[in-house]
Amino acid sequence: MENLDEVDLKLLKILHNNSNFTVKELAKQVNLSASPVFERLKRLEKNGYIKKYIAILDAEKLHQGFIVFCNIKLKKHDRTIGNQFVADIMEIDEVVECYNTSGDFDFLLKVYARNMKHYQDFVFNKLGGVKSIGSTHSTFVMTEIKNTYGIGII
């Protein structure tokens, strides 16, 4: 963050809450003209502060609102097995987030499914096909309390 000034941080905060603003609208909010704001945005994108712009979809409306956190323990720990697990997980659409973790489990998956039956099918037919998995532990979300869809910029 050593290259970011107050205007950069303000732009990032604004975009984090709503990336749908035009450059002209952003410029007005940070009291600059459009040209320098455009250049700042390009620099923030080029330097990796802004990874991409996305639309956040409503999982419930799309009948994918059953959220499960699935802890994964690998059968064995070595580079080949770990890399194969990651490659396999990258191909599974229901898995929207995957983290390599410390502690009792090796990975944490966030999974979206239609319902319990869909999740059961996912476990048997998709996770069941990942040969490197030794065991799983599922935690079902009852309700989402907070989701900022990213990081808080302080």
Q: pLDDT per residue over 11-40, tens digit each? A: 999 999 999 999 999 999 999 999 999 999
Report if residue 122 sits inside a domain.
Answer: yes
Report if residue 57 sits inside a domain.
Answer: no
**CA torsion through residues 33, 35, 36, 42, sign:** positive
CATH number for the domain that contains residue 108: 3.30.70.920
Single-letter amino acid, residue 123: V
Token look-up 């532990």 returns: 137
Nearest to 136 by CA among 113, 107, 115: 107
pLDDT category, 154, cuts 50, 70, 90? low
Same domain? For 39 and 104 the reply is no
Q: Would you state the pLDDT for residue 153?
A: 77
The residues, any chain, with a CB within 8 Å of residue 148's CB and separated by 6 or more, are: 16
Q: What is the pLDDT of residues 39-48, one digit of tens each?
A: 999 999 999 9
Q: Would you state the pLDDT for residue 90?
A: 97
DSSP assigned state of 153:
P
Report if residue 152 sits inside a domain.
Answer: no
pLDDT at 1 > cutoff 80: no
Domain count, the chain: 2
**pTM score of the predicted model:** 0.86
- Both tokens of 55, joined, read 């639309």
Same domain? For 40 and 70 the reply is no
Report if residue 54 sits inside a domain.
Answer: no
Report if residue 41 sits inside a domain.
Answer: yes
